[in-house]
Amino acid sequence: MATVEKIRRDIEKTKEKISEQQKRLRTLEAQLTEEENLEIVRMVKAVKMDNRELTAFLKAYASGLITLPESMMEAEAAADPGENEMEDTEYEE
């Protein structure tokens, strides 16, 4: 019976660790979202458009009325080649 109790204690400890890691994950995801939002705000401020101009530009881009030059798209891809790689990366402490 001692083995059964040990397994139950191990299960409880594991559940506690999982709960702690889930909290940590939520915190990290919130930090990431905040940093991404700040980056977007910085980029928007850098173009120095007023609200109407920016809204019109974004609507035109979203509807396909305007497109970015291919050279600009290639330069962006080359500048940040691993942008989506972090999604698959696991971090351990």
For 30-86, the pLDDT digits (tens) are 999 999 999 999 998 999 999 999 999 999 999 999 888 888 778 777 876 655 554
Residue 27 token pair: 């915190």
Q: What CA dihedral angle connects 26, 28, 33 and 36, to 10 degrees? A: -170
Element (H, E) at 86: none
Residues whose CB falls within 8 Å of the CB of residue 67, separated by 6 or more in sequence, listed in order: 61
pTM (2 d.p.): 0.58
Cβ(54)–Cβ(44) below 8 Å: yes
